[in-house]
Structure 1
Amino acid sequence: MGKFLAGLIVISALAAGAAVYYLQVYHYYDEVAANGSEDVVMTSVATGVAEPILYEGFQAIDSDSSPIRYRACFTTGLSQAMLTETYEIYESAEPNIAPPWFDCFDADEIGKSIEDGDAVAFLGTENIHYGIDRVVAVLPDGRGYVWQQINHCGEAVFNGKAAPDDCPPVPESYK
């Protein structure tokens, strides 16, 4: 009887592990349909407002379970030189890992390209959700990537600290 119970526990644990893996990697993600005009935006240096840029080949995924699960890939004909003169650079860009089946987005490659100075990261939309910025990175060949990451306001508030003085007011739902 003991062997049967031990086997049942092992099988249950394996089934639970497989279910958790499936839910995290596949179930909670949805493909995002391109709207054709405002899928890729960057914040203008001149106005401080997020503006759409020219792009094609847009693919994206998102999840309602977390505000940092958004990932997108696209291509643009705009040069890095033009983009850096027009849009705000994002200094602390750290791409988040995407599920393996979303193969256009390789966070390790993107991160290395940013560190090496090949890719340039821009502020897409600041506080797209409170404490979360949308970041856009563009390589010299026009390949581009979008993700959302926690900014300094979110880092403080999500850790239970007071928001820094330069942050917008904290929504009641976060208090």
Structure 2
Amino acid sequence: MAAWHRILALVALAGGTASLALAATPQAQEIRLVSISSGQPEPILTDGLKTTQDALAADYRGCFTTPLSLGMLTETFTVDPLAKPEPDTRGLSCYDPARLTEDLRTGEAVAFLSEPDITPGMDRVVAIYSDGRAYAWHQRHAAEN
């Protein structure tokens, strides 16, 4: 993990409001975003992660918060301008695809590429708001949308 991730983790943990998803944690229980500099997914700080049960299925949905600022995230991680929130077939009450779609359209939220090709033909995408609310889903590769 990059040194600045460790620093962010220590700062956030000192406040007692966030937990760090470490690389040893199962992929389903951590949220990663693709770094602009390395092109690789890197874990971010999350709190309260709720997901659908089958985390690698096409109908994956997740809700969480992050203490990381939207400014830092947009300067560090790959923005996904073609994000298209998928309907929720499992009833995860915190996930509202219609609201996400509108908020991405207006710039209220920003979408990031999380895990390219997490399953064949599917990417994980994460939308984050300036107040730290965040939502994740799987969608077909942008070229296939």
TM-score (norm 2): 0.75
Task: Kindly indicate which of the two structures has a greater share of residues assigned to helix.
Answer: 1
Structure 1 pair 142–152 and aligned structure 2 pair: CA distance change class (3 A): closer
Question: What's the offset of the Cα at 1:97?
Answer: 1.3
Asked if residue 97 in structure 1 is aligned to residue 83 in structure 2, the reply is no
Structure with a larger share of its residues in strand? 2
Question: Which of the numbers 135, 142, 145 marks the counterpart of 2:132?
Answer: 142
Q: 2: CA distance between counterparts of 1:98 and 1:133?
A: 16
Name structure 2 gaps, 5 residues minimum.
1-19
User: Looking at both structures, which has the greater relative contact order when contacts are Cα pairs under 8 Å and sequence separation is at least 6?
Assistant: 2
Map of 1:59-70 to 2, 5 A cutoff? Answer: 59-63=50-54, 67-70=57-60
Shift of 1:98: 1.2
Is contact 2:50–2:63 with CA below 8 Å preserved after alignment?
A: yes
Max Rg structure: 1
Q: Note if contact 2:52-2:90 (Cα within 8 Å) is conserved in structure 1.
A: no
In structure 1, the gaps of 5 or more residues are: 1-34, 157-175
Say if 2:4 is the partner of 1:52. no
CA contact (8 A) 1:71 1:147 kept: yes
Percent same amino acid at aligned positions?
Answer: 37
Whole-Å Cα distance in 1 between the matches of residues 83 and 142 of structure 2? Answer: 12
Residue 55 to residue 67, structure 1, CA distance change in 2 (3 Å): same
Distance 1:99 1:76, change over 3 A: same
AA of the residue aligned to 1:106:
D
C-alpha displacement of 1:129: 1.3
Q: Deviations over 1:29-75 (max 9, x none)?
A: xxxxxx943511100000001000001010000448x8320000000
Deviates more, 1:93-102 or 1:54-63: 93-102
CA distance in structure 2 between the aligned counterparts of 1:125 and 1:63, rounded to whole angstroms = 16
Q: How far apart in 1 are the matches of 2:98 and 2:59? A: 16
Query: How many pairs align?
Result: 120
**Counterpart of 2:125 in 1: which secondary structure?**
strand
Q: Scaled by the length of structure 1, what TM-score is found?
A: 0.63
Residue identity in the other structure for 1:90: D
RMSD of aligned alpha carbons: 2.2
